[in-house]
Amino acid sequence: MKIDRIDYLKKIGAIYYSYMFGRNDLKKNLGAMWFLYLLRKILFFHGYSFKNKMDLILGGKDEKRLFWKYFYKSRYELIDNFYSVNQSQIKFSMVKNFTSEQLRSYFNNAREVIFCNLYNIDSILSPSDTILDIGASIGLFTIYVKELYPKSRIICFEPEKGNFSCLKSNVKDYKNVSIYNLAVGDRSAIKKLKKSTNNLIHSIVDGSNLKLQRDYYGFQMTKIISIDEIIKEKVDVMKIDVEGYEKKVIEGSVKTLKKFSPILLFDSLGQKKDIIDKMNSLDIYIQ
């Protein structure tokens, strides 16, 4: 593997960053002019009734999501075009017949993990670490780590079948990477996995939350295991990105966490306090 693979994925992240967050710069610099521009776009949008437009203006509600697709059409077209023109250089497997929304999600994931270095990989990890990638998706985190630290050992868990197929293809040329088509939780079980339209935010249905929300289109039955059941070797780092199921992962990792005190990397910053409270309740203390 050549290091230019990371350079290329950084370009993907940079494109998404500039197009997504360039809007924020416009808002900041134009002030009220930006909101007048947005208001004009809403009022002259032909896809909605007057009530739909008022919902958008007063509450930001866009149930059908037609307006924002129209508003960001140029962004989607730029991403689609960039991928189609440079597909042979990306060397990166994605689901077949992907939609613009799925492709946008992949670009956003590259932005977070590689371009913005969400997990501070280069400053936290050591060259020979053993890492658990829990919620590996299509493998961007694992690719980034293996490119920086080829001697690292990575164990990946990804339950969704389409993502797992892509993960398998994306990491096949790296040594010392193990992959499991499993979800991780507090104990062995079979549960429903809600499947999302953007392919990166599938989530386990736990108990009462059986209703499909917006952006979810169906279920997949998936096997769940706990880290304490499957992992017997020393663990240095656990990266956990499981769409709200983090506390269940912690509950099933108590022995591993107490024995090895691995570094924990979370994507869900909004749940940080809940996760720390859960760990404290299990007598697992972190600095």
pLDDT digits (tens, 9 = 90+) for 89-110: 666 777 666 777 777 788 888 8
Question: What per-residue confidence (pLDDT) applies to 208?
Answer: 44
Residue 35 pLDDT exceeds 60 = yes
**Packed helices 73-90 and 100-110: angle between N→C axes, nearest 10 degrees:** 70
The pTM of the full predicted model, rounded to 2 decimals, is 0.79
The predicted model gives 8-27 an average pLDDT of 73
d(CA 67, CA 57): 11
Per-residue model confidence as pLDDT tens digits over 214-255: 566 678 899 999 999 999 999 999 999 988 788 899 999 999
Per-residue model confidence as pLDDT tens digits over 201-220: 777 766 544 454 556 667 88
Residue 12 pLDDT exceeds 90 = no
The predicted model gives 11-19 an average pLDDT of 78
Per-residue model confidence as pLDDT tens digits over 37-53: 788 888 888 888 888 88
Please report the DSSP string for 23-47 in residue order.
HHHHHHHHTHHHHHHHHHHHHT-TT
User: Looking at the domain 121-281, which fold is it?
Assistant: Rossmann fold (3.40.50)
Residue 2 pLDDT exceeds 70 = no
* Start and end residues for every CATH 3.40.50.150 domain found in the chain: 121-281
Per-residue model confidence as pLDDT tens digits over 123-167: 899 999 999 999 999 999 999 999 999 999 999 999 999 889 989
